[in-house]
Structure formats: C-alpha cells, structure tokens
Amino acid sequence: MGQASLFGAVEDTPEVLIREDGDVRLYREWWPQAQRAELFSRLRAELAWQQTWIRMHGKPVAVPRLDVWYGDGGRHYQYSGAAFSPRPWTPTLKRIKEALEDREGLTFNSVLANLYRDGNDGVAWHSDDEPELGNRPLIASISLGAERRFALRHKQRGLPSVRLDLPDGSLLVMAGDTQHFWEHELAKTSRPVGPRINLTFRTVFDSL
Ligand SMILES: O=C(O)CCC(=O)C(=O)O
C-alpha cells in the first residue's frame, strides 16, 4: 500500500495480543504519522457526532462519549436499547474503509465512530456480540488522537488480561472467537488527556 496519499497505510507487522479463545492483533503504525492529525481534524469536523442514550435498569442514561453510525443503507444495529440507522458513508470514511479492505483483504458495510472528548469519556466492559454482527465477527478498530488505555479480559477463564495504550494511528483487529470469550473496555481516566476518535469497522448482517 502506498504512503503518498492521505488515505494510504504504511507497511506494519502486527503484534499478536490474544491467540487463545480469540484472535487480537495490533498494528501500531497502521496510518502514516504525517497524515494522522489531518485525518483526525477532518473526522472531527465532518462526522455528525451525537449523544446516544441507552436504558440501564429501566432508566435512560447518556453514554459517556459521542458516537455516530455510518454504513450501507438498510443495515440497522442496536445495543442496550439504542437503535442506530446508518448515515451514508462520507468520502473520508469511505476511503479509510477502502484502504482497510485493500490492505486486509476484507469487506465491511458499517462503522461505529466514537469521540472521547476527554478522560471523562470511555466505554464500559462489553463484548461486541449483538446477533446482527454474526457468530465470529471481525472488528477493525482504528485509533486517532490521544492515547487511551484499552483492556481485554476473559469472561470465563483466568487467562491474563491484556492492557495497553492504543497509539495514534493504530489498527486493532479483533477476530475469531474474541467477542464470545473476551470483553473489552476503554477506561475513564483522571489524567489530563486530549480527544480521541475511534472507528470500529464491522459487517452487519440482515437480522431478518
Ligand atoms: O474506543 C475503543 O477503542 C473501543 C470502542 C468499543 O469498544 C466499541 O465501539 O465497541
């Protein structure tokens, strides 16, 4: 993959983070360093960031981040009582998707974008195991902006947890049985941290 355009990815060898009961790999330098800040600014300005509300114990709760769903028409997705209808791909998202697909030999029809404004934003422990993602979903997760601590823990066995700061420009791939056996979080932090954007590319199947 060439390095000249904004939408090209550099060569990088993945680090294997989980190989037991799942498959998690990290490409630390997936997006060229010189282009990361511009990509971050474009995504922050272009995407229709919104506040999502979920239901917890019967009460509406605002999730601690902004998010927005983009993808092919007709692919609906829901979690914790919140339903998403995809917005049409923006040119920037489409080109990132195409870079991912060319590089990894995969196809995706949706992306959930998350904006963590500061250390008060995060994602609690969960697995991406909604039925519309299929049995063994492959999730390609791109990080841009501030480094934030990401963790994975096994749901049943005492395997060692994985904790790491996801670098700006990195790509984390979660595949195989990962969502069945492992859950993940992005913890809030009292450290002063800048904003971070995360793009999780997925394939959503028809739930009919
Ligand atoms: O921001 C991240 O790296 C994780 C996002 C996440 O867990 C999710 O969207 O399901």
Would the CB of 141 count as within 6 Å of ligand 1? yes
CA distances from 73 to 14, 60, 78, 87 (A): 32, 27, 15, 8
Residue 69, phi then psi, degrees to nearest 5: -110, 130
What DSSP letter does each residue of 88-135 carry, written as one string? PPPHHHHHHHHHHHHHHT---SEEEEEEE-STT--EEEE----GGG-S
Report the pLDDT averaged over residues 35-63.
95
Q: Is the per-residue pLDDT at 10 higher than 80?
A: no
Nearest alpha carbon, ligand 1 atom 10: 128
Q: Which helix (H) or strand (E) holds 27?
A: strand 23-27
Instruction: Specify if 1 maps to a domain.
Output: no
Q: So what's the pLDDT on residue 11?
A: 55
Instruction: Specify if 4 maps to a domain.
Output: no
Cβ-contact 73, 178 below 8 angstroms: no
Instruction: Specify if 74 maps to a domain.
Output: yes
Q: Residue 91 — left, alpha, or beta (φ > 0 → left; ψ -120 to 50 → alpha)?
A: alpha
**What atom of ligand 1 comes closest to residue 198's alpha carbon?**
1
Instruction: Specify if 59 maps to a domain.
Output: yes
How confident is the model over 99-133, as pLDDT tens digits? 999 877 889 999 999 999 999 999 999 999 988 89
Nearest alpha carbon, ligand 1 atom 8: 200
- Domain extent for 66: 15-202
How confident is the model over 52-91, as pLDDT tens digits? 998 888 899 999 999 999 999 877 777 777 777 899 999 9
Instruction: Specify if 157 maps to a domain.
Output: yes
Would the CB of 200 count as within 6 Å of ligand 1? yes
Instruction: Specify if 5 maps to a domain.
Output: no
Instruction: Specify if 9 maps to a domain.
Output: no
Cβ-contact 195, 115 below 8 angstroms: yes
24, 170, 171, 184: which to mutate for ligand 1, most atoms within 8 A of CB?
184
**Nearest Cα residue to 196 out of 123, 133, 129:** 123
Give the helix ranges, DSSP H, for the chain. 36-46, 91-104, 178-181
Would the CB of 112 count as within 6 Å of ligand 1? yes
**CATH code of the domain containing 169:** 2.60.120.590
Instruction: Specify if 6 maps to a domain.
Output: no
**Nearest Cα residue to 86 out of 73, 96, 99:** 73
How confident is the model over 128-181, as pLDDT tens digits? 998 889 889 999 999 999 999 999 999 999 999 999 999 999 999 999 999 999
Domain count, the chain: 1
